[in-house]
A and B are shown apart, each in its own frame.
Chain A
Amino acid sequence: GENVEQHPSTLSVQEGDSAVIKCTYSDSASNYFPWYKQELGKGPQLIIDIRSNVGEKKDQRIAVTLNKTAKHFSLHITETQPEDSAVYFCAASIRGTDKLIFGTGTRLQVFP
């Protein structure tokens, strides 16, 4: 079955710096890769996603890149702000089931 690995587990940055979180997946049939932000005591919130027919997607300060050959995808946050502090999860799913296999999460702390 699919396995998703995520690094780093914690990431501390100064406000205004960039943050990068990386994930790898094992199943080449995976074709959808969302990223979720989870704040304490809340459910995961979808922030951006990418499908296997696209190499990069951007939404304001957030971008995601996908390398299908290497089976890895990354989240890039630019100009970080303290409110970006949260746990971020990557996930992968295979068309048809749409069930998500999550990574283990990255705790991002942005210091003012």
Chain B
Amino acid sequence: DTGVSQDPRHKITKRGQNVTFRCDPISEHNRLYWYRQTLGQGPEFLTYFQNEAQLEKSRLLSDRFSAERPKGSFSTLEIQRTEQGDSAMYLCASSYLQGHTEAFFGQGTRLTVV
């Protein structure tokens, strides 16, 4: 297992277009998290899944954002009608339930909305 994998690494899109990102967590990890990081800031929590159930969503996750984790494996994050303010690094992390709290991050997807 090579860790958390995110695809694509970079995405440039025009304002108003839809984009979808994928995250493949570490295989035995039940929890999967999405964070957003803007330049010069720490990552901000967006949402997280325990297996296939989405347990919490941040206020940062507007109606244009949707995340899924079918079958409790990989996850997708879709942004509809992108805006320039959506430009950021989108980070995925995973952790193992049952007492283990260490979260391991992927390399992120850098989104640029032009």
A-B interaction = yes
Q: Which residues of A contact B (CB under 8 A)?
A: 4, 6, 32, 34, 36, 42-46, 49, 51, 89, 91, 93, 95, 97-105
Chain B residue at minimal CB-CB distance from A93:
B101
Q: SS class of chain B's interface: helix, strand, loop or mixed?
A: strand
B contacts with A, residue count (CB < 8 A): 24
The number of residue pairs between A and B whose CB atoms lie closer than 8 Å in the complex comes to 60
Chain B contacts for A42, CB-based, 8 A: 107-108
Q: Is the interface of A mostly helix, strand, loop or mixed?
A: strand
Complexed CA–CA distance, A36 and B91 (Å): 13
Provided the pairs A32-B101, A93-B101 are in contact, do residues A104 and B42 lie with their beta carbons within 8 angstroms? yes
Contacts of B101 in A (CB 8 A): 32, 34, 49, 51, 93, 95, 98
